[in-house]
Amino acid sequence: MEHVELSAADLLLRPWREADAPAVRDALRDPDIAQWNPQGGHIDDDSALLWVRRRADWSAGDHVSMAVTAAAGGQLLGSVSLHHIHHGDASIGYWTVPTARKRGVAVRAVVRLTEWAFADLRLHRVELCHAVANSASCRVADRAGYAAEGTLRESYQYGDGRRHDEHLHARLASDR
């Protein structure tokens, strides 16, 4: 898959670069990101570099991973990615750095990448799962137009090493 950049008002979604590694290391050590991601907060310079290199390589066609940055100034605000892209389906994931939160960054990034996925990748359905205990992520899902479809029991192991129940949300290309 070819790299693209997507604009969304004051945001620029762009492929990851090796130069992002120090900011990624700091972000992944944030307690909330460490809790609600599978890798936890144990990340050093080498693993942060590996993280950005893997996400910058879209060649397998099974994921699209983007840095969410400020269109003016370019600082890293977050991450948004489509993964498990297969036969018209995908899953979406995201985080924002603590200083960027509660300004609508996650919702704008999720909406922009989803719209691009339907229009350009011709996806049919995108799923979004979050731990039931992660109420902020549930709000992002609702605000980004991902309808709640049910609860998955002990479906995913998060950063604390425990399996959590999750809410499944999804958007279809045919949704308004």
Binding residues (CB under 6 A) for ligand COA: these are 32-33, 36, 94-96, 100-107, 130, 134-137, 139-140, 143
Least distance to ligand COA from the beta carbon of 48, Å?
Answer: 16
Residue closer to ligand COA, measured from CB, 52 or 97: 97
Residue closer to ligand COA, measured from CB, 87 or 161: 161
Least distance to ligand COA from the beta carbon of 2, Å?
Answer: 27
Residue closer to ligand COA, measured from CB, 95 or 116: 95
Q: Quick one: tokens of 11?
A: 């945001």
Q: Quick one: tokens of 44?
A: 């050093």
Does residue 68 contact residue 11 with C-beta atoms inside 8 Å? yes
Residue closer to ligand COA, measured from CB, 125 or 143: 143
Least distance to ligand COA from the beta carbon of 59, Å?
Answer: 26
Does residue 99 contact residue 81 with C-beta atoms inside 8 Å? no
Least distance to ligand COA from the beta carbon of 32, Å?
Answer: 4
Least distance to ligand COA from the beta carbon of 110, Å?
Answer: 8
Residue closer to ligand COA, measured from CB, 33 or 117: 33
